[in-house]
Structure 1
Amino acid sequence: MADHSEVAYTTADGNDYIEHERTYEGFIALVKYGTAAVALILILMAFFLL
């Protein structure tokens, strides 16, 4: 059997945690503002279409 005592990504060369955090923060911002935009569209649709 293979030795699985060490996780591969922790020893991989070239891990860029700063870029990883920037990407995650960008994703969170996209979800936050995207959700707000969809909610605004639904509110405007309810106001103008009823």
Structure 2
Amino acid sequence: MADHKHGEMDITVQEKTFEGFMNMTTKATIAIVVFLIFLALIAV
């Protein structure tokens, strides 16, 4: 079995995936907040 050395694995793909996930989550959260404000303005 090969010895594992911390910090040697290439994680660029994982970093890009996480960045995309955070970007999508941020945009979805902003869209939901804007939609809720819009609903609140219509209901008044």
Return the TM-score normalized by structure 2. 0.72
Bigger RCO (CA 8 Å, 6+ sep):
1
One of 18, 22, 31 as aligned partner of 1:28: 22
Paired residue total: 39
Q: Which runs of 5+ in 2 are unaligned?
A: none
CA distance in 2, matches of 1:25, 1:16: 16
Matched, 1:38 2:41: no
Normalised to the residue count of structure 1, the TM-score between the two structures is 0.65
Percent identity over paired residues = 28
Q: Which has the larger radius of gyration?
A: 1
Which runs of no fewer than 5 residues in structure 1 stay unpaired?
A: 1-5
List, as ranges, runs of 4+ consecutive aligned residues in structure 1 with deviation greater than 6 Å. none
Look up the match of 1:48.
Answer: 42
